[in-house]
Structure 1
Amino acid sequence: MNPQQLSEVKRALGRRLAGWRRTRGLTQDDVARRVHSTRSTVANVESGRQVVDRVFWVQCESLLNAGGDLIAGYDDYRSLEVRQKEEKAEAARHARWGAVLDHQTLVEASSPNWAPDRATPAAPAGCRLTSGACHDRSSTSRPGADLQAVVDDVDGLRRSLNEALSLGPITVAGLDEWERIVTHHGRATRDRSADMLLREIAGDLTELREVIGRRPSASALRRLTGMAAQMSGLMCLVLCRIDERAAAQRWARTARLAAVEAGHPVIQSWVLAQEAHVYYYSADFDETVNLARHAQEVAGQKASVGTVLAAAIEARALAATGRREETRAALGRAEEFLSHLEGDALSHSAFGYSEAQLRFHEENAYTLLGDLKAALAAQDRALELGSPGDYTDWALTRLDRATCLTKTGHASDALDSLAETIGSLDEAKRQGIIAERACLVLDALPAAQRSSSTARDLRALLTMAR
């Protein structure tokens, strides 16, 4: 399979999409709008310049009622692409090692007495040898850098060991352990900083990808794919918090693809609710409402963490556009969904939803509507049920409290509350949407408060966090 052949398959796939689109009497704009893409993307796919991800093709397949033709074509292309990459990698390995690592060399290298041909230099003065490493007492290298190199080497060994242990089919116990890992990350989102979460989730996602790549059984693959959807959704959530909107949207697409592949409506609903949050913080309130309602539809309007979260973010988006009655209706649906949750669905986790979280969404909706009495009552309840440890909802609720104080003529109290909230968070936790929101609250204060030394110090602190 050479690159020219693969390019021709890609162009044929694009022509197939164009043919189905024309058969259904749709324009490229029509398709783009209905699959949440852009006209340029559709045009590039049809001309063979792009293929994009499976979410796009699943949505086009459904829209155009192509009878499986588009998905089959996409899957065939991806299979050929994998084959080409494997052939290319094998050729590169052979070019590099084929003439060097013959059978005899491999046997010698496996011997416990093996040593490379070049002589090992004598240890210089001031140097001690421990486990084959040279430590120069007079060296100016940083101990931390040396330690990090050792940690990296050890982690490479750990991954090799994991791979060796996982050569056989993954067991039910192995799948259960992965589910425990995913659950742990969901709980960690409530109180850990974004930078810690990104590193930890990314590390486990890397290993989860390797497990999926070992061709597990169909039932195991379905469970693993659902976990990949959840982990990708967590990446979306964390990136949204630090206001990395474009990256969050990309992870949301990956999460959606995995949820669709897993065939799990409850996970799909939760993923769509996370994506709706990204659009909310991008001030695209119409798309927020569309995604939130879709999240409730895919779950059949049944109570789940995804549906209550979706109804709550729908209410906030409706409130941001001043749609009072629709906001109250969405909050009513959220209350109804919450009343039917039980067990782990109520846990203190990104995969759970509690009354404290609903009161945060509720108070924000009423703050946006300017219904200050209802907002203050919901804030009291949210702060009573929550804690500073759950720092995102806690901080955003207090920032809304400062907004309400400003609107009721208590600007000095608002500034004090704002300064106390931001001052209580360490630098890693005051980034992203918290810093953005705090700046808006600060800008809304009267001139006397904005020009105070407290406000100036606070603005400098927020500027560093953004």
Structure 2
Amino acid sequence: MAEYDEIETARHALGRRLAQLRMAAGHTQHSLARLIQYGRSSVANTETGHQYPDRAFWSRCDAALQTGGLLVGEYDRVAELYWRRRRAPLNQQPDDTLLPAVASKVKPSAWGADDDSALWEREETIAARRLVLKSSTDDDARLAYLEYELRQAVIDNERLTPAVLMARMRPLRAYVDQLMAGHQHPPQRARLYVAAAHLSGLLGALALDLGAFAVAHAYTAEAFDLADAAQEPDVQGWARATQSLVAFYAGRYHDALAFAQDGLRRAGDSPHRVRLMINGQARALARLGDRYGVDSAIDRAFTLVDEQPSDAQVSESLTFGSYCHARTAANAATAYLAIGRGTEVTEHLAVAITAFDRAGLAGPQALSRLDLATAHLHADDPDQAAALAMEALALTADQRYESVHQRARQFIANAKPFAHRPRLRQLAEMLAEPAAIGATRRSALPSPS
């Protein structure tokens, strides 16, 4: 009973602490309830100790009152008291139950109203156990919410600007930290680590889009560490593919290749093998000049695409499933472009650009057009090359993609022999003055032939 009294005392103290923090912040019960999206009676009953809400309530109060997690920390301390009671050995529990051997000796005549309490556990013992079960159900709901938000973010990537999506995802990182401070059951803990790995990988890719390479590297390294801790080969493969992506655009091609190859060793039969081969291996090998390796990686990637086709016509760039044919073709074109195989470039881009235009994905549309523009330069067609490059920049005028900016700069470097051409001069000026890009009307630009 002493421990139960301690729990009740702690609950009431937490309610009083909420009232003190609310008043110090200048809030009424009604105004705080509006902020945290609970009823005023919930706030009032909690402050008086008549109601003890779940962790989400205290987390919202911490956010609204800017307490730095004080209330959630105290909630977790009270919850830990329940856990200790739950985990205590039988010989340390109050002597309020009878073992079957003892119960069999109790005579029916002794089962009167005065003696019934000897036959079952006390109410507070049952309530404490029920709280543990309820906490498990609540954790399932929290994890389902987190997993849904991550799936939606992967879908919205390339449809929303990186800055907008980053702002939406950042608060989830703090939410994950709060969940990790909890006491989930092992299957829930594994789900939490997987979700945390996906979140860090997504944040890393968004940081890359915004040109923050050091942050992108840190996030993706964290993603792999979380996937490794979860002992999930599929998630390890996904995280390694994202690390390879960051290393590639940072110009660390040996690292990009190393991450992709390690991902393939870990991933087993994972659908991420396609992305690791084509986005990781093939493109890094091309930058390192390994023509045979490029051919081999691309052939294996397309074989896998045929064996495990994507459900979507155009898969997400950070998909949790397999790359689609269009994504594979676009990455194959980028690899072939780096080793001067122009015919393969145009063949693969004919497939990719059609799919990306139909899906309306500005980033992939722009990247594919820049690759095609470079192929036209190599074919001594600078005017068509300039038109495609200008269209690519116009497609992403209102968004920030480091990959597009890098590829545009590479195009300008390759176009130096034709720098006297008016359209190429105009393009160089547009790159020097990004505001001028937005003034270009997309509808007036030619489409790729």
Mark yes or no: TM-score above 0.5.
yes
| Counterparts of residues 6-21 of structure 1 (less than 5 Å) | none
Letter in 1 for 2:245: H
Quote how far apart the aligned CAs of 1:370 are: 0.6
| Residue 394 of structure 1 pairs with residue 365 of structure 2 | yes
1:307 has 2:260 as partner: no
Q: Which one of the candidate residues 294, 309, 322 is aligned to 2:262? A: 294
Contact 1:406 1:414 in 2 (8 A): yes
Partner of 1:19: none
Task: Work out the CA distance in 2 between the residues paired with 1:345 and 1:158.
Answer: 43
**Deviation by residue 1:350-399 (Cα, 9 ceiling, x = unmatched):** 22421111011011011111110110111111101223632222211110
Shift of 1:345: 8.4
Residue type matched to 2:172 in 1? D
Alignment correspondent of 1:448: 420
Do residues 198 (structure 1) and 155 (structure 2) align?
no
Post-superposition Cα deviations, 1:244-293, rounded to whole Å, max 9, x if no partner, equal: 22111111111011101111100000100110111111222222111111
Distance change >3 Å, CA 257–CA 344, structure 1 → 2: farther
For residues 345 and 222 of structure 1, what CA distance do their matches in structure 2 show? Answer: 28
1:369 maps to which of 339, 349, 374: 339
Q: Secondary structure at the match of 1:296?
A: helix
AA in 1 matched with 2:366: A
Alignment of 1:131-146 (within 5 A): none
Letter in 1 for 2:210: I
Q: Give the equivalent residue in structure 1 for 2:94.
A: none
* Alpha-carbon distance between aligned partners in 2 of 1:220 and 1:107, rounded to the nearest angstrom: 31
Secondary structure class of the residue paired with 2:246: helix
Letter in 1 for 2:235: I
Matches for 1:74-113 after TM superposition, within 5 Å: 106=16
Partner of 1:416 in structure 2? 387
2:383/2:423 contact within 8 Å kept: no
- How far apart in 1 are the matches of 2:390 and 2:62? 44
- Residue aligned with 1:386, SS: helix
Q: Structure 1 177/108 Cα, relative in aligned 2: closer, same or farther at 3 Å? A: closer
Q: What amino acid is the match of 1:460?
A: A
CA offsets per residue over residues 186-243 of structure 1, 9 Å max, x none?
A: 1111311110111111112221221221221221111011000011111111122223
Alignment partner of 1:358 is 2:358: no
1:338 to 295, 305, 327: 305
Q: Does the Cα contact within 8 Å between 1:399 and 1:441 map onto a contact in 2?
A: yes
Matched residue, 2:151: 183
Larger Rg: 2
Paired position in structure 2 for 1:403: 374
For structure 2, which runs of at least 5 residues remain unmatched after alignment?
A: 1-11, 33-59, 76-130, 438-449
The TM-score with structure 2 as length reference comes to 0.65
Which one of 283, 295, 299 corresponds to residue 328 of structure 1?
295
1:347 Cα offset (Å): 7.0
Give the C-alpha shift of residue 346 in structure 1. Answer: 7.7
**Structure 1 segment 422-441 matched on structure 2, within 5 A:** 422-427=393-398, 429-441=399-411
CA distance in 2, matches of 1:386, 1:115: 54
Q: Which of 258, 272, 280 is residue 240 of structure 2 equivalent to?
A: 272
> What letter corresponds to residue 274 of structure 1 in structure 2?
T
8 A Cα contact 1:439 1:462, kept in partner: no
Find the residue that maps to 1:253 and give its secondary structure: helix
Say if 1:153 and 1:405 are closer, same or farther in 2 by CA, change over 3 A.
farther
Residues 218 and 449 from structure 1, CA distance in 2 versus in 1: closer, same or farther, beyond 3 angstroms?
Answer: same
Letter in 2 for 1:234: L
Aligned AA for 1:389? G
Distance in 2 (CA, whole Å) between partners of 1:288 and 1:206 is: 29
Question: How many pairs does the alignment contain?
Answer: 326
The equivalent residue for 1:246 is 214
- Residue type of the alignment partner of 2:283: R
Distance 1:115 1:423, change over 3 A: closer
Distance 1:309 1:408 in 2: 29
1:211 matched residue in structure 2: 179
For 1:177 and 1:414, the matched residues in 2 are separated by 46
Shift of 1:433: 2.1
In structure 2, give the amino acid aligned to 1:156.
A
Conserved in 1, the CA contact under 8 Å of 2:234 and 2:270?
A: no
Amino acid at match of 1:396: L
% identity of equivalent residues: 20
Pair 1:220–1:333, CA change in 2 (3 A): same
Paired residue type of 1:398: R
Provide the C-alpha distance between the structure 1 equivalents of 2:375 and 2:23, rounded to a whole number of angstroms: 73
1:385 corresponds to 2:352: no
Q: Look up the match of 1:47.
A: none
Two-structure CA RMSD over aligned residues (Å): 3.6
Structure 2 match to 1:156 = 64
**Whole-angstrom CA distance in 1 between matches of 2:226 and 2:18:** 45
Contact 1:311 / 1:331 at 8 angstroms: preserved in 2? yes
1:318 alignment partner AA: L
1:316 is matched with which residue? 283
Provide closer, same or farther for how the CA distance between residues 449 and 463 of structure 1 changes in structure 2, counting only shifts above 3 A.
farther
Given candidates 141, 153, 168, the residue that maps to 2:135 is 168
CA change 1:269–1:363 in 2 (3 A) is same
Question: What is the distance in 2 between the residues matched to 1:259 and 1:194?
Answer: 24
Any idea what SS the aligned residue of 1:448 has?
coil
Which residue of the partner structure matches residue 459 of structure 1? 431
What residue ranges of structure 1 are gaps of 5+ in the alignment?
1-101, 119-129, 133-151
Would you say the 8 A contact 1:308–1:337 is kept in 2? yes
- Answer yes or no: is the 8 Å Cα contact 2:314–2:356 preserved in 1: no
CA distance in 2, matches of 1:287, 1:343: 28
Deviation readout 1:165-199 (Å, 9 max, x if unpaired) = 99933343443232211111111113111101111
